[in-house]
Amino acid sequence: MKVPTHETNPAGKPERLLAEFPLPTYDEWRAAAEALLKGAPFEKKLITRTPEGIELQPIYRKEDVAHLPQLAELPGTASRLRGATAAGQVGHGWEISQELPLATPEEFNAAALHDLERGQTELNIPLDLATLAGRDPDQAQPGDVGACGLSLATLADMEKAFANIQLPLVSVYLRAGASALPAAALLLALAKKRGVAPKDLRGCIEIDPLGMLAWKGDLPISLERAWQEMAGLTLYASKQAKNLQTVAVQGTPYADAGATAVQELAFVLATGVEYLRELQKHGVSINEATRHVRFSLSAGSNFFMEVAKFRAARQVWSQAVAALGGDEQARAMHLHVRTATFNKTVYDAHTNMLRTTTEAFSAVVGGCDSLHVSPYDEVTRLPDEFSRRIARNTQTILAEECDLTKVVDPAGGSHYVEWLTNEVATRAWALFQEIEKQGGMTKALLAGSPQKMVADAAKARADGVAKRRTVIVGVNQYANAREAQPDRKPLDYAAIQQKRAKQVADYRTKHDADEDAFVLNSLSVLLESQPRSALEAAIEAVSKGATLGEICRAMRSGDAEHPKATPLCIHRAAQPFERLREASAAATAAGKTPLLFQANIGPSRLYRLRADWTTGFFEVGGFKVAADRDFKDADEAAAAALASGARIVVITSMDDTYVTAVEPLARALKAKDAGIHVMVAGAAPKDKPVEDAWRAAGVDEFVNVASNSLEMLTRLLTKIGVLK
């Protein structure tokens, strides 16, 4: 038989490979799929509904995307969906932008030098709560100094933090929150002292007042002052530091509060548009503004949804900038990605490595420009050298071993990804328009609209976790019952505050009278400066010895009322189950182990799936499950259960065995101890008289796949005194 090829036949028409095998139609495939379902509805079994409200089909065909205009686009053109530039990540890759949340300048410097020598390419510097609020360490609460990031107050701090680091050679992402001008003054004063021109600096000095308002619920400055600082810093960068971004739009607070991909994208789009409008009002053109904007989105666990979100982000931003009058070059987006916190776990923490691997992969495939991969122990303690190395090397492997820097838009052309990208973009744009109808993102946040949307989405997600429809490995399923309590290594914030307060106090007192006069004079100049010239005055003040707190007080003198809003509820999906485990561990440590007796009637090998499922169901709550014996009958099981001292007994067997075993076993247990809680593994009998008889004998409830795991475990642990 002649093997068909792709060669052209004499008639000029290409022959299809294996042409003798007819292609099945979609209708034929669906008929075959429905036959395998054996009567179960196709829509219920094979269509997946996501938290975004998107219905995913089991397969996608070219017909599903034939109407999408972006399929004809090339990377770096039109909507930028396929990449911000024509070359994408080919040749240069993305910035390895690992966060370094070390508390003191000395600790930060040691970690930065270590990590820069081992693959990190951008210094991602979260600032502590005191610095974000504009307070020096000796003027701040102990719990704020060193919390969540680096404490900075003086030029001496900057010199310590950046010792032996060549500023022109390293991208710097300084996470300054709602008011970036004081932190920018510290960095630019350091550059000035070292003789580094602003034009040679690159990275981002972040100002994101609406992101901070959503996260914290209040701001250290008024919004009008924030807009003035944003404009002043951006105008400075547009003239003297063209490689510095000055505006960041954070989506991670929304994602870490439980927002869907569509919500996160819509809210950052609305925020970005709000920033562009405010910058235009304060004298920054749309084309100047956009080149200094950085977006930061979260990467969650739904791989294809996240890839679609990152691609859609470029599309909707391009669409918005075009509508605001931006030119072709202004439509490009700089996209930073941070792997999510929402889905990370305290227990079985090494699974976080696996989660961040897929999340990082989605970020790179989606076309990120810079990326932070969370260390696996990030949610329990300050990451150490080992966990930072594993996280950093995840990126290195993606770049060096997976060849992801060898192709532009690796997801492009997939019918599924293209369809999903369009779906996410369309829904995000519609939600963005809703925010616009409310008057924009500022008014929406002050009214609490985005917060309520996110809270509703988080509630629906929590319900899925509680009922185990959404699996969190190691938490609500597949718990490691023998796992030791995590080593949290809490920081001594009081000691950090004392150390930093002394450093700042010593810095102030080392100046002589003339130097103090210079500082006071520079601060008075700053006090009288117009917003556009405030940065230059602040740099001069820092150079003469002023502290960040002094600069903030001078700049904010006479400021208007600071805005307040309902903060997002930042949390992790695993926390409710982790609280059960923690309470059970505490009870065990106190000699009151929460024990559950599993009464396996008959050889458990005959119902192994049910027996293992039952054990696993209760272990996720921290119960010690006694399930190591099989009993020949109800009498033997009852005697062993009573001897164990367990206050909860679950009867486990085959359905046929239940008919003869449940009633006598339940009756025997209740006769000896009416307070024992008796359960049956499986659904309640369909025959109501049988169920009534079992309950009359002493069965309290049934545990099965339809049970609300969180609610049931909480109730049982409360019943035996583990929870109050």
pLDDT in tens, 62-115: 999 999 988 888 888 888 888 888 888 887 889 999 999 999 999 999 999 999
Predicted local distance difference test score (pLDDT) of residue 1: 41
501, 549 contact by CB (below 8 A):
no
Structure tokens that stand for 316 in this block: 């909707």
Q: Where are the beta strands (DSSP E) in 247-379?
A: 247-250, 293-299, 334-339, 370-372
* 188 phi, psi to nearest 5 deg: -70, -30
Predicted local distance difference test score (pLDDT) of residue 3: 46
Structure tokens that stand for 492 in this block: 């001594």
Beta bridge partners of 55: 49
153, 497 contact by CB (below 8 A):
no
Which residue shows structure tokens 């090339």? 74
Helix (H) or strand (E) holding 203: strand 203-206
Structure tokens that stand for 434 in this block: 């809703």
CATH topology of domain 581-719: Rossmann fold (3.40.50)
List every span in the chain annotated with CATH 3.20.20.240: 90-466
- Residues (pLDDT < 50) of the chain are 1-4, 6
Beta bridge partners of 124: 99, 173
Radius of gyration of the chain (CA): 30
List every span in the chain annotated with CATH 3.40.50.280: 581-719
Closest CA to 534 of 276, 232, 288: 232
Beginning with the edge strand found earlier in the chain, give each strand of the sheet holding 203-206 in spatial order. 122-126, 171-175, 203-206, 244-245
Contacts of 101 (CB under 8 A, 6+ apart): 126, 148, 149, 150, 382, 383
Predicted local distance difference test score (pLDDT) of residue 23: 83
Contacts of 326 (CB under 8 A, 6+ apart): 286, 287, 290
CATH architecture designation of domain 90-466:
Alpha-Beta Barrel (3.20)
Q: Exposed, middle or buried: residue 481 (CB in 10 Å: 0-12, 13-18, 19+)?
A: middle
Buried-state track 653-677, b at ≥16 Cβ within 10 A, e below 16: bbeebbeebbbebbbbbbeeeeebb
412, 367 contact by CB (below 8 A):
no
DSSP for residue 532: G
Residue 53: left if φ>0, alpha if ψ -120 to 50, beta else—which one?
A: left
Q: Cβ–Cβ contacts within 10 Å for residue 361, how many?
A: 18
Contacts of 158 (CB under 8 A, 6+ apart): 105, 152, 186, 187, 189, 190
